[in-house]
């Protein structure tokens, strides 16, 4: 990292990466030192919720298909899903 780091850049931002303004109606939230706005955070939570539902559905299908529970320790790997951080 050079003189101009991520933290320094974040401190100057007035909008999030998706263009939502950081103002009193959409206050920024520091999360793991990353800045994320309410709108993005809500969208992220929503995606997480649906992703979890999809995983649970996949597990149900696999179990119904006779796959042993022991093989489901890493469902993400089974589905080829890679969890990605969306901070910022």
Which chain residues interact with Zn ion by CB under 5 A?
A: 16, 18, 20, 37, 39-40
- In whole angstroms, the minimum distance from the beta carbon of 11 to Zn ion comes to 17
| In contact, 12 and 6? CB cutoff 8 Å | no
| Cα separation, 63 vs 66, whole angstroms | 5
| In contact, 72 and 30? CB cutoff 8 Å | no
Closest to Zn ion by CB, 27 vs 64, is 27
Among candidates 7, 4, 1, which has minimal Cα distance to 87? 7
- In whole angstroms, the minimum distance from the beta carbon of 54 to Zn ion comes to 24
| Cα separation, 63 vs 67, whole angstroms | 5
Closest to Zn ion by CB, 18 vs 48, is 18
- In whole angstroms, the minimum distance from the beta carbon of 50 to Zn ion comes to 18
Closest to Zn ion by CB, 27 vs 83, is 27
């Amino acid at each position: 990292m050079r003189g101009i780091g991520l933290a320094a850049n974040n401190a100057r931002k007035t909008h999030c990466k998706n263009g939502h303004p950081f103002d009193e109606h959409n206050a920024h939230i520091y999360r793991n030192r990353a800045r994320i706005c309410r709108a993005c955070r809500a969208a992220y939570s929503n995606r997480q919720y649906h992703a979890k539902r999809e995983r649970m559905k996949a597990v149900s299908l696999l179990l119904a298909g006779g796959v042993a529970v022991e093989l489901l320790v890493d469902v993400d790997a089974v589905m080829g899903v890679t969890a990605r951080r969306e901070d910022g």
